[in-house]
Amino acid sequence: MNNQIKCNVKTCMYNENNRCSAECVEVGCDCCNHPKTDHETQCCTFKKK
């Protein structure tokens, strides 16, 4: 495991037992550059299994 990221997105190919196995992770926003809630942010590295 290359990072210390915990993640519960089980549909992502990088998820291994609730840990992220990606070499690096990019986090962004799917709506704007000024998110106000956690629902407005997203993991851009997500890849569907």
- Contact footprint for ligand SF4 (CB under 6 A): 5, 7, 9, 12, 14-15, 20, 22, 25, 43, 45-46
Dihedrals phi, psi of 39, to nearest 5 degrees: -70, -15
Contact 17, 6 (CB under 8 A): no
In the bound state with ligand SF4, the residue whose beta carbon lies nearer, of 24 and 32, is 24
List of long-range contacts for 17-20, beta carbons under 8 Å, 24+ apart: none
Nearer to ligand SF4, 41 or 43 (CB): 43
Of residues 41 and 45, the one with the C-beta less far from ligand SF4:
45
